[in-house]
Amino acid sequence: MAHVLIKHPVEDYAKWKKAYDAHAAMRKQAGSKGSQVFRNSENPSEVTILFEWGSVEQARKFNASADLKEAMQKAGVKGMPEFTYLESTAKHPN
């Protein structure tokens, strides 16, 4: 299992969230296993998403897609998103 942490500012959170939710089927089709959305408590226009993917390769392919770039632009993402790819090394109970 792999995870991807994506952080970026948005023009309008409500507009972005609506577009993000509408894009869920495309993410699932590409191999996403789910996600959690966070907003920066000191800057609510900054969004961080933690995705779970089947593999880093699936995530990289999707994140490089023209479809995602277009969807992010339409959703009002400002600037270049920051992508961090994470692979689990061990599972701990807590």
Cα separation, 57 vs 63, in Å, equals 10
Statement: residue 11 has pLDDT above 80: yes
Domain coordinates of the chain in residue numbers? Answer: 2-87
Q: pLDDT by residue (tens digit) across 20-62?
A: 999 999 999 999 999 999 999 999 999 999 999 999 999 999 9
pLDDT in the model for residue 91: 75
Q: What is the pTM of this model?
A: 0.88
Angle ∠(25,19,69) on CA atoms, nearest 5: 80
CA 18 → CA 4, 9, 12, 24, distances in Å?
21, 15, 10, 10
1: pLDDT confidence band, cut at 50, 70 and 90?
Answer: confident
2-87: which CATH architecture?
Answer: 2-Layer Sandwich (3.30)
Which residues lie across from 50 on neighbouring strands?
5, 36
